[in-house]
Amino acid sequence: MGIFLFYKKVPLSRSISAPSVVSILRKILIKLSNGEASHVQVLTDVALDRTADLLHSVPFKDVTRGFRVTYTYAGLLKALSILASHVREGSYSLGRLEDALKVLDQILLMTGCPLFRTEVDLLISTIEKELNNSNETWNPSQVEENLFKYSIVNLQNPPFVYYSVRKFLKPPSLDEFLSHLQTTCDPIIIENAMLDWPATTTRPWSNLQYLLNTIGSKRSVPVEIGSRYTDEDWGQEIITIQEFIQKYILAESNENPKKNRYLAQHDLFSQIPLLRRDIIIPDYCYCNGSSFDDIQVNAWFGPAGTTSPLHTDPHHNLFAQIVGYKYIRLYAPNQVEGLYPFESNSMLGNTSQVDMDAYHKKLQ
């Protein structure tokens, strides 16, 4: 594990925000360069806490590159100090490796890693190899016993569909799809459009062991707590993918949805580039003149019982269901008034106040 020594070449950019944090980062860098890794743990914690406060001081859309660069420097130096002390102690502590991996994932989750992405990916890869070589492995038998029940696509007591949606039994041509967009632009269902995706064939995502191995059992992911983000007790946390699968995906019962965890609308493919090879962006995404860089690809992963309140998105959506099923309720734009959205200037301005779960229960 000699790759951590690149910190001797790390320059501190003048574009970093918050001079007080910069001075702390300089002290950390000097101590690391002098081989004093064990003496900088407190400093790295302070630097990371202060930069996290900077990120949370403004809405996410207003976070500047300077703030993100600051957090990246602080997180990277903290991870390096953990690894440096880990190696100098002459013993391999799995807990310390996991601590460093968690910090590196926080960089990716909080900032997107605006610089040193190659080095961060290299550190993550090396740590994962060390963890995989350890004796602490997860027995996959529990996963193997539960492989196929997540591929079942038969809804139990499905809601009644009042208005049928046009369905293509095979993918339409680009001309057909574009013609539909330019005329009615109503919702459509396209079947058999992912038959050539590795995620449904050679590297099936219905195999949870494959997902665990590809993502990395100790990688951290953001999850929502609770059944709906409009609930007062709704929250978020960061947990390892292994904990998420063991506790919430493989759970035999989800009788209390308030205890559910839901990995929702997460840029998982940027965090885990290896997973990106399993999907193919449909050509339909480019019909409106979008370029590759314009397309946002997010992932959803959750157990039964996870729901999202009625809401509107700022972008057009092409939703691909790879494993399991999802019931989607759609209303036309001219029905917005009857859906009682929250105040437009609030954080929930794109969300309806109507509780559809309560509505369905009343009908039953």
Least confident among 2-11, 60-69, 159-168: 2-11
Q: pLDDT-derived band of residue 363, with 50, 70 and 90 as boundaries?
A: low
Predicted local confidence at residue 289, as pLDDT: 79
Task: Report all structural domains of the chain as residue ranges with CATH numbers, in order of start.
Answer: 3-132 (1.25.40), 151-363 (2.60.120.650)
Average pLDDT over residues 104-120: 93
- Bridge partners (DSSP) of residue 167 are 189
Mode of pairing for the β-strands spanning 261-266 and 188-190: unpaired
Provide, rounded to the nearest whole percent, the portion of the chain with pLDDT above 90. Answer: 35
More confident: 93 or 252: 93
Predicted local confidence at residue 155, as pLDDT: 58
Q: pLDDT-derived band of residue 105, with 50, 70 and 90 as boundaries?
A: very high
**Integer-rounded Cα radius of gyration of the chain:** 23
Whether the predicted pLDDT of 245 surpasses 50? yes
Q: How far is 346 from 59, CA to CA, in rounded Å?
A: 12
* Mean pLDDT value across the chain: 82
Q: pLDDT-derived band of residue 201, with 50, 70 and 90 as boundaries?
A: very high
Whether the predicted pLDDT of 361 surpasses 90? no
pLDDT digits (tens, 9 = 90+) for 287-344: 877 788 889 999 999 988 788 889 998 888 999 999 988 888 888 888 989 999 999 8
330, two tokens? 């759609």
pLDDT digits (tens, 9 = 90+) for 59-74: 777 888 888 888 898 8
Q: How far is 173 from 314, CA to CA, in rounded Å?
A: 26
More confident: 85 or 121: 121
pTM of the model: 0.82
More confident: 192 or 315: 192
Closest CA to 318 of 172, 187, 147: 187
Predicted local confidence at residue 152, as pLDDT: 45
Predicted local confidence at residue 18, as pLDDT: 55
Q: How many CB atoms lie within 10 A of CB 187?
A: 13
Write the CA distances from 179 to 183, 197, 238, 322, integer angstroms: 6, 25, 43, 26
Predicted local confidence at residue 281, as pLDDT: 94
Average pLDDT over residues 258-287: 91
Q: pLDDT-derived band of residue 254, with 50, 70 and 90 as boundaries?
A: low
pLDDT digits (tens, 9 = 90+) for 345-360: 888 889 999 888 777 7
Q: pLDDT-derived band of residue 188, with 50, 70 and 90 as boundaries?
A: very high
More confident: 322 or 142: 322
Predicted local confidence at residue 6, as pLDDT: 45
Average pLDDT over residues 281-287: 91
Average pLDDT over residues 140-169: 63
